[in-house]
Amino acid sequence: MTREYRCYQIDSFTKEKFSGNPAGVITNADRLTEMEMQKIARELNNSETAFIFPSLEDVYDVEVRFFTPTKEVPICGHATIAAHYARAVENSMGTVRIYQKTGAGILPVDIIKEKDDYRIVMTQGQIEFGDTLTGEILDKILSALNISYGDLLENYPVQIVSTGHSKVMIGIKDKETLDCLQPDLSFLAEISGKIQCNGFYVFTIDHESDILVHGRMFAPAIGISEDPVTGNANGPLGAYLVHYKKVDCTSSRFFFRAMQGEAIHRPGVIDVQVDINNGEPDEVKISGNAVIVFQSEILL
């Protein structure tokens, strides 16, 4: 018996088609096997594809699973935005909070109706500060990125940080250097195996602009040479900036905007909110727009 699945290609963190970060979305993924999901993700060949399943328990509204072209990951920022944007459009939803079950736990997502469109707000998972990378392993990371110690921002530790899917935070001084990065992807993939972290987020800081952060994210170990605009990099970065007091932490909430994807001609903007408790990051939310590029059906 033929099964029909609703398939979307959605650009997240933008309202312009062919910019931002593309994600595949299957809105009725029930009865898909894990192997079928992996094959669909490989076929669509986005950095992530989201698969939406109906709830089996009262404590959440939907389950969402995320696959890169090569493996399943616990959660993904831009594919969360895309998944709930597609669901909102399909169901003509109003402003509402729903709960999604993910590999990073059960987390709220706010669907904000704005005129005839939507903005999606994703609450991210538990903030975790992992290893600070120094010595030989840092030497290897810098070599793989083709940058030097002199390029690094002073007093910005190179560290693994997570809000559900960990990234290495690497602050550098110069946006021109950022735009010209040509990393050795095979070497980065090898390093990922040693540090048990698949993403390397290289960023700059500009306190004089309304865009505080410009960044690039590389995750070749999971089949992503470069991710255009990364929710699960900029969210943890917000926690990192608050933790190290690199921004104003005197109030209970810190907001900033990040732009990513410029170097690969897919620019997008993420809004990041960090709730602060006793001077430390307590919860991270990211939000953004999205636009449907195309929709179709997959018959299996």
How buried is 123 (Cβ within 10 angstroms: 0-12 exposed, 13-18 middle, 19+ buried)?
Answer: buried
* Residues recognised as catalytic: 48
Which string of DSSP letters, residue by residue, matches 91-150? TT--SEEEEEEETTEEEEEEEEEETTEEEEEEE----EEEEEP-HHHHHHHHHHHT--GG
Could you give the CA distance from residue 114 to residue 137 in angstroms, rounded to a whole number?
A: 46
Could you give the CA distance from residue 155 to residue 186 in angstroms, rounded to a whole number?
A: 28
CB atoms within 10 A of CB 244: 16
Name the H helices within 146-278.
175-179, 185-195, 231-243
